[in-house]
Amino acid sequence: MTTQAQVQIPSNWPGSIPEYVAYQTFIELGRRPGEDFTYQSPLMGGRMDKGGIILDFLFTNPPDLAVNVQGVYYHYEFGVEAKARDIMARASLAGQNLTLVFIDDDDLMSDPTYYCREALNYRDHSRLGGG
């Protein structure tokens, strides 16, 4: 089991600890940053409040896949607005032939290899995905 206390992230890492765990796990699963995926990729102008989306991971290998790490508290306990933004993001990306898979941060921290491998196979086990 991975815990946040066990994870050492570089001081210049722009994201969360679970995002770093996912980043490193995708590399361990044979994906190369800058070639197979990009981290924090802006689409349609960036943030949802500006009409766009920031994706945690946008893949070219596998094609047409995006992955966002979900903070359990923010995305599920913070209210319907946060859930609605996630649902709208998924629908918007589907219209562009992109599959958005969510990985819940608690799942990611308990078994990163399993959940990242599942995401690479377009399988969503998040609470939002119904898993």
pLDDT (tens digit per residue) in 61-104: 999 999 999 886 554 555 677 677 778 888 888 888 999 999 99
According to the model, what pLDDT value does residue 50 have? 42
| 77-87 residue pLDDT tens | 556 776 777 78
Residues 6 or more apart in contact with residue 101 via CB below 8 angstroms: 65, 66, 67, 68, 119, 122, 123, 124, 126, 129
Asked whether 18 and 30 are in contact (CB, 8 A), the reply is no
Q: How far apart are CA 98 and CA 106, in angstroms?
A: 25
| 27-63 residue pLDDT tens | 999 999 999 999 986 554 444 444 567 789 999 999 9
Asked whether 108 and 22 are in contact (CB, 8 A), the reply is yes
Asked whether 85 and 70 are in contact (CB, 8 A), the reply is no
SS3 content of the chain, % helix, strand, coil (to 5): 40, 20, 40
Q: What would be the CATH architecture of the domain defined by 34-131?
A: 3-Layer(aba) Sandwich (3.40)
Listed residue (78, 55, 75) closest to 65, CA to CA: 55
37-43 vs 53-59, strand pairing mode: antiparallel
DSSP state at residue 127: T
